[in-house]
């Protein structure tokens, strides 16, 4: 009995580490929303099946040879050492966040394992050791599925928790009675949100949802824990994977102003069609009140052709199309920033604006902020000052130094439009040009073709290409070869960390490296 209990100590430690890994994947798959975690399990079933749990295999072997509980404990300890070694080599790009939900899930997991182990402790018998170790080994081997079961068990509790905090958020926002700006789109939501917040803060005390808090849970968290009684404008970023999600966000925060950045192929895998993406994004505009204002982009064909089912006021921005309320002209792009002139409808003057941000696509985001600020009463001088004070946005064409190398960090969630523009920005730089990328994901049946086009853009600009993940980047590699890009200047790695010493070896004089996209850990090959 004593030896059996001692053998459980390394077993439980091993199981805790395995559970943490399972939690990490569950969290990155939005707690199995729309069966994302289950689909991930099915997609990675081979990797999961062979991911060791060498522990389980060895324990079963000991049972057949009747080696006993002591050797069983040593085998578990060996498995624990093996796990520690593997963990030292793994560095999560986005670590597990120990939220209240994870803590509740941990308690449920504890109960499941407690219920399984206790009968063997209470009714201990050496005759039952085979069954005990077999069951415990299976529980650890199938830990990913045990976590999924615990997540299902917790669903009613999580629903009650969600409704409680939702009620608090709605009550708080209603009591504050401040205007809400909703921002959505396939690309550029977070950049646009931060840009508009910086512009409006010249005159107002505006607050924008932090980081990428763009789900109902994120909005509720933002309102309850971050929105301050002194804020007079709330800027809410709204993301979606399918039709109906933007509408749910709007019911929660009730925006008066709505901005759509750009509509494209992002999340095509879950939306299924471009029409569904278009309908999903326009749920924001169709949720605005009659005295609300929609700010749209006339250079975006999807926004132009959509028939809005709302009679709120609509104003347009543009660069190519001048038949708008605000447009930019005389745009000058460089590696140090962007300058451009702005023309307002009915005003023959041109107003000069400058920003530290890189890339033409940021001009659209700034135009939306200028138009909204103008509607809210900011003067030209305040708007100019606001644009010049806009801060660079983390992981979105953020220029930084890595030793003697200039890094253009565009690692956040790449997409077909943004990736092309990022390569264009790299093309503005003078010196050796290198790109590091794992390609783009969640593009459904068009994933190969869109990554192939990405590879074509890369071939026209870059001196060296570093691809991360052989399977994921095959379309990019194919495009480079088809474009007669030198094979010896293409490097395919399995780990992005290996790219940094390689960059140092390739660097000569002025070197610029574009880090384009950084896939979540669940996409590791």
CB 208 within 8 Å of CB 253:
no
Architecture of the 398-523 domain: Alpha-Beta Complex (3.90)
Nearest to 314 by CA among 299, 289, 292, 282: 292
CB 312 within 8 Å of CB 293:
yes
Domains in the chain: boundaries: 2-153, 163-388, 398-523
Long-range contacts of 173-179 (CB under 8 A, 24+ apart): 173/223, 173/227, 173/234, 173/253, 173/254, 176/227, 176/229, 176/231, 176/234, 178/231, 178/232, 178/233, 178/234, 179/232, 179/233, 179/234, 179/256, 179/257
- Angle 299-513-392 from CA coordinates, rounded to 5°: 55
CB 239 within 8 Å of CB 276:
no
The tens digit of pLDDT for each residue in 261-291 reads 988 766 666 677 888 888 999 999 999 999 9
Q: At what angle do helices 155-176 and 100-122 cross, to 10 degrees?
A: 160
Task: List the chain residues with pLDDT less than 50.
Answer: 88-89, 91, 520-525
Q: Find the helix or strand (DSSP H, E) in which 355 lies.
A: strand 351-355
The reported pTM is 0.79
Domain 163-388 adopts which CATH fold?
3.40.1190
| Beta strand pairing call for 398-402 and 432-437 | unpaired
The structure tokens 């399977």 sit at 471
Q: What is the pLDDT of residue 270?
A: 67
Q: What is the pLDDT of residue 59?
A: 55
Q: What is the pLDDT of residue 7?
A: 67
Q: Return d(Cα 375, Cα 384) in angstroms, integer.
A: 15
Q: What is the pLDDT of residue 267?
A: 63
Q: What is the pLDDT of residue 472?
A: 86
Q: What is the pLDDT of residue 82?
A: 57
Q: What is the pLDDT of residue 76?
A: 57
**Separation in Å, CA 277 to CA 249, 280, 486:** 16, 5, 38
């Amino acid at each position: 009995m004593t030896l059996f209990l001692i053998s459980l100590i390394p077993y439980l430690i091993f199981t805790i580490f395995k559970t943490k890994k399972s939690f990490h994947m569950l969290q990155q798959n939005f707690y199995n929303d729309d069966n994302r975690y289950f689909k991930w399990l099915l997609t990675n079933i081979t990797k999961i099946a062979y991911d060791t749990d060498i522990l389980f295999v060895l324990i079963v072997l000991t049972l057949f040879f009747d080696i006993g509980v002591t050797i069983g404990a040593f085998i578990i300890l060996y498995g624990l050492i093996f796990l520690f070694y593997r963990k030292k080599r793994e560095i999560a790009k986005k670590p597990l966040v120990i939220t209240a939900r994870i803590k509740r899930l941990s308690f449920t997991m504890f109960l499941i394992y407690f219920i399984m182990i206790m009968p063997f402790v209470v009714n201990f018998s050496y005759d039952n050791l085979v069954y005990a170790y077999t069951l415990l080994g299976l529980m650890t081997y199938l830990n990913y599925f045990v976590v999924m079961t615990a997540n299902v068990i917790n669903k009613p509790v999580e629903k009650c928790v969600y409704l409680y905090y939702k009620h608090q958020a709605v009550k708080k926002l209603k009591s504050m009675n401040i205007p809400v700006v909703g921002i959505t789109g396939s690309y550029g939501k977070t950049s646009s949100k931060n840009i508009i917040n910086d512009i409006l803060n010249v005159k107002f005390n505006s607050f924008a949802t932090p980081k990428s808090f763009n789900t109902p849970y994120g909005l509720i968290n933002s309102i309850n824990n971050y929105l301050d009684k002194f804020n007079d404008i709330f800027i809410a970023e709204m993301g979606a994977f399918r039709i109906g999600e933007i509408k749910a966000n709007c019911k929660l925060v009730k925006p008066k102003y709505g901005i759509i950045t750009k509509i494209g192929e992002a999340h095509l895998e879950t939306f299924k069609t471009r029409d569904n993406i278009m309908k999903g994004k326009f749920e924001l505009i169709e949720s605005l009140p009659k005295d609300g204002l929609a700010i749209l982009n006339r250079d975006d064909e999807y926004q132009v052709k959509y028939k809005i089912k709302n009679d709120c006021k609509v104003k347009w921005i543009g660069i190519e199309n001048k038949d708008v309320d605000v447009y930019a002209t005389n745009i000058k792009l460089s590696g140090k920033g962007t300058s451009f002139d702005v023309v307002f409808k009915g005003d023959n003057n041109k107003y000069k604006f400058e920003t530290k941000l890189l890339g033409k696509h940021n001009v659209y985001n700034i135009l939306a902020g200028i138009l909204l600020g103008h509607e809210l009463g900011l003067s030209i001088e305040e708007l100019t000052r606001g644009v010049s004070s806009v801060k660079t946005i983390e992981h979105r064409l953020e220029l930084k130094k890595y030793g003697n190398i200039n890094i253009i960090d565009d690692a956040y969630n790449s997409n077909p439009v943004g990736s092309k523009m990022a390569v264009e920005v790299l093309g503005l730089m003078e010196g050796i040009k290198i790109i590091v990328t794992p390609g783009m994901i969640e593009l459904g049946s068009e994933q190969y073709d869109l990554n192939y086009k990405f590879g074509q853009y890369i071939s026209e600009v870059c001196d060296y290409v570093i691809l991360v993940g052989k399977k994921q980047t095959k379309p990019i590699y194919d495009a480079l070869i088809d474009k007669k890009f030198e094979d010896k200047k293409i490097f395919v790695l399995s780990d992005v960390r290996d790219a940094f010493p390689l960059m140092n070896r390739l660097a000569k004089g002025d070197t610029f490296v574009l880090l384009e996209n950084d896939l979540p850990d669940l996409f590791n090959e």
